[in-house]
Amino acid sequence: MRRIIAGIIVAAVGALALAQTEPIDVRPPDFGAPPAETIGATGDPSAWYCPWVVSGALRDSTFNLASMMDVNATVTLPNANPTEEPGVSEVRLRGPGARSIDAGEIVRRGTSPGVVEFDDGPAVVTTAMWSEEILTGDRCVASVPKEWNLVGGITAEGFTLELQLFNPFAESAKVTVEAITEFGRSPLAGFESVDVPGRSWLITDLSRVIPFLDMATFTVTSESGIVIPSLVLNSEDDEASWPGTGQSTIWDFPVTSLPGLEPTLVISNTGSVGATVAIDLFTPDGPIPDVDGRIVAPLEPLRIHLSDLAEPPFAVRVRSNAPIGALIQAAPAGTFPRTDVIPPEEEATIDESTDEATIDTSEGEEVEEPVVYSGLAAMPGNTDPLERWLVPGLGVVPGAQTSIWILNPSGEDATVTVSPLGVSAVRSEKIVIPAGHYVEIPVPSLSESGNSGMLIDASLPVSVAVSIAGPQGVAFIGGVGVG
């Protein structure tokens, strides 16, 4: 009897034990995903990586800082020789304020990519670099995705293209670089797994690796560690540089050209399906939506000569139904090869209108000879219109004319307050930007105004960029919004 009782108890308890279920597995952590690319500055401490800075016997460079708050900033220029100390400069920035730091005052040893750390924010950084022959500048980056896109490469005759891979971190990085050209995906021999030592950088002349290409987009993927890539394009006249970006369905270009330069838009689709792209132009006379629309096939980068669509100047918005990369490049007419085919009718129309314009001009009375620039400029667009922008690095290049370009892509008029940042207490100005228009605000040089930055507050989301143009060359620098 007792055996049976024991057996029953065992069976009952055993069945209950079997019925117990395993606790739910621990969910994966809610962090650790590769950071999405953000262009905006946030109200937190931040570090900005500026991959293309050269300060030597021929070139000068500045780190252009602007902040909304009182911040301490540390500019660190790593030394490629690990046995030597990096160059470090610490500055105090009263907010809202702006300041430019000459890289040569920290260390003057040629290529000097740097890191700028802020202990508070929002604060942003751009760079400007010039010599007697070139002028270029970049927006620095604060987010470091695992995969970068570099659109707008060209290795055709007359161009040299360099890829700069900057690793500001202590850990060595291992990256893979792939190229997408007009011939599709092109493997880069020796770039399958490139080691970039910690706190160092690597410069590769892509013109030697894949020469004679009119169109090349590069993807840089980190297997381990992190790098900040940028492309540096040299023509006979000038140099342009631009950092790697992510992809987006909207790209705004508040500035696309200056007098004497012809704007081209480079679009690259690294996805697996074609992207339907529409181009809106914002001319002084008003917006021209959907001035061009086309399907950009995967792995087929495309260059569009925007002057074929309308007479510059104008701002541009590129819309797409799939994430794409987009870049504006401007240079004197004929600099960039034509790869897009224009239908004969359109060509005739354009020629006609051009003729008319020529006639109109010739018929006018005495016209002041406009300033014509020669150089090479390139700029990735802005992905998000924002209501507040910090624009550093204004008027820092000697002898060059700096302008801020503000695009109001919305359907309503935007009231924009422009507040200079610097040592002189210039009053803020308010301007109204009509719906679908852009404005250019020329900025006096730093030596004249004492101000090297601008805070832009808008009643509606706008997009901002900077142009610097002078006898040395031309540079377009994307704005940095305050998120």
Partner 1 sequence: MIFARRGADLPATIESIQRQVYETQRIIVVGGDSDARQVASAHDVEWIAGLGAFIESGTDATHLWFVLDGVSPRPDALGALVRGQIRLDASVAGSKILDEENPDRLLSVGFATDVFETPYTGFDEDERDQGQYDVVRDVAAVGGQSTLIRTDLARGLGGPDVTVAPFAAAVDFCQRARLRGARVIAVPSSEVLAPDDRPELDRWRERAGRIRAMIKVYGPLTLLWALPMAFLSGFAQSFLSLFLGRWRFFHWLRAWLWNLVKLPNTLGERRAARKGRVVGDSELFRYQISGSVALKSVTAELSDRIRRRLPGEDRLSIEAVGDELRRPSFIVGALALAFVFLATRSIWSGGLPAVGFSLPFVESGPGAISAYAGGWNPAGLGSVEMLRPFTALAGLIQTILFDNRRLAEYLLTAGSWSLGIWGVVRLLRTWGVRAVAGTLAGIVYVAGPAAQAVAQETAVGVAIAIGLIPWSMRFALAPFPTSWVSRIGRIAALAVIAGISAMFAPLTLAVPVIALLVWALLNLTDGTAWRAFGVSLIGAILAVPLLFPWLGVADLYRFVTDGEAYWAFPIVTATVVAIAAATTLVAAPQRLALVAGWGAIAAAAGTLLARSAGFGAGREIETVSLAVVSLGIGLIVGPSFEAITRVREVGGWRRIVAGVSVAAAVFLVAASTVTILGGRAGYPGDEYREAFTFSAARPGDPTASRILVLGAPGNLPGDDRLVGGAAYRLVSAPMPESWETYLPSARVGDDALAKTLETIIDGETKRAGELLAPFGVRWIVILAEDERDPFADAWKTIFVGQLDLVPLGGGLDNATFESEAENAVRAISTEGSTWTRAGTGYEGTPEFGVGLEVRENANDRWGPGDWQQIGWANGTTAAVGTVSFNPIENRRAQAIAAAVWLVALSGVAWAGRRFG
Q: Strands, DSSP E only, in 352-428?
A: 377-380, 386-391, 401-408, 414-422
Of the listed pieces 28-36, 413-421, 429-437, 468-476, which binds partner 1 according to CB under 8 A?
Answer: 28-36
Q: Please, which of residues 160-189 interact with partner 1 by CB under 8 A?
A: 168-172
Tell me the three state secondary structure of residue 347: helix
Nearest distance, CB of residue 226 and partner 1, angstroms: 5
Q: What is the dihedral of CA 47, 51, 55, 59, to 10 degrees?
A: -130
Q: How far apart are CA 186 and CA 188, in angstroms?
A: 6
User: Other CB atoms closer than 10 Å to residue 84's CB: what's the count?
Assistant: 11
Q: Please, which of residues 404-433 interact with partner 1 by CB under 8 A?
A: none
Exactly one of 16, 189, 341, 367 binds partner 1 (CB under 8 A); that residue is 16
36 scored as a contact of partner 1 (CB under 8 A): no
31 scored as a contact of partner 1 (CB under 8 A): yes
Nearest distance, CB of residue 54 and partner 1, angstroms: 22
CA dist list (Å): 109 to 33, 81, 86, 182:
37, 12, 11, 37
90 scored as a contact of partner 1 (CB under 8 A): no
371 scored as a contact of partner 1 (CB under 8 A): no
The number of residues that bind partner 1 (CB under 8 A) is: 42
7 scored as a contact of partner 1 (CB under 8 A): yes
Give whichever of 35 and 323 is closer to partner 1, judged by the CB atom: 35
83 scored as a contact of partner 1 (CB under 8 A): no
Query: Among residues 178, 175, 155, which one has the least CA distance to residue 165?
Result: 175
Tell me the three state secondary structure of residue 103: helix
Residue holding tokens 């919004």?
A: 481
Q: Please, which of residues 444-473 interact with partner 1 by CB under 8 A?
A: none
Q: What is the length of the chain?
A: 483
Nearest distance, CB of residue 198 and partner 1, angstroms: 8
Spatial neighbors of 223 by CB under 8 A, at least 6 apart, are 174, 175, 176, 193
Nearest distance, CB of residue 78 and partner 1, angstroms: 9
14 scored as a contact of partner 1 (CB under 8 A): yes
Give whichever of 170 and 432 is closer to partner 1, judged by the CB atom: 170
Hey, what are 189's tokens? Answer: 């021999």
Give whichever of 34 and 398 is closer to partner 1, judged by the CB atom: 34
Exactly one of 95, 104, 117, 195 binds partner 1 (CB under 8 A); that residue is 117
Enclosing H/E stretch for 106: helix 103-106
76 scored as a contact of partner 1 (CB under 8 A): yes
Of the listed pieces 8-16, 152-160, 233-241, 393-401, which binds partner 1 according to CB under 8 A?
Answer: 8-16
Contacts with partner 1, 189-228, as mask; x by CB under 8 A: ---------x-------------------------xxx--
Burial class (CB in 10 A: 0-12, 13-18, 19+), 273: exposed
Nearest distance, CB of residue 444 and partner 1, angstroms: 35
Give whichever of 18 and 425 is closer to partner 1, judged by the CB atom: 18
Amino acid letter at 348? A
Tell me the three state secondary structure of residue 364: coil
Q: How far apart are CA 127 and CA 60, in angstroms?
A: 11
Give whichever of 33 and 189 is closer to partner 1, judged by the CB atom: 33
Exactly one of 21, 83, 424, 447 binds partner 1 (CB under 8 A); that residue is 21
9 scored as a contact of partner 1 (CB under 8 A): yes
Residue holding tokens 């040395």?
A: 472
Hey, what are 262's tokens? Answer: 């012809």
Spatial neighbors of 471 by CB under 8 A, at least 6 apart, are 399, 400
Query: Among residues 468, 477, 266, 441, which one has the least CA distance to residue 375?
Result: 468
Residues near partner 1 (CB under 8 A) are 2-3, 5-7, 9-10, 13-14, 16-17, 20-23, 26-35, 44-47, 76, 115, 117, 144, 168-172, 198, 224-226
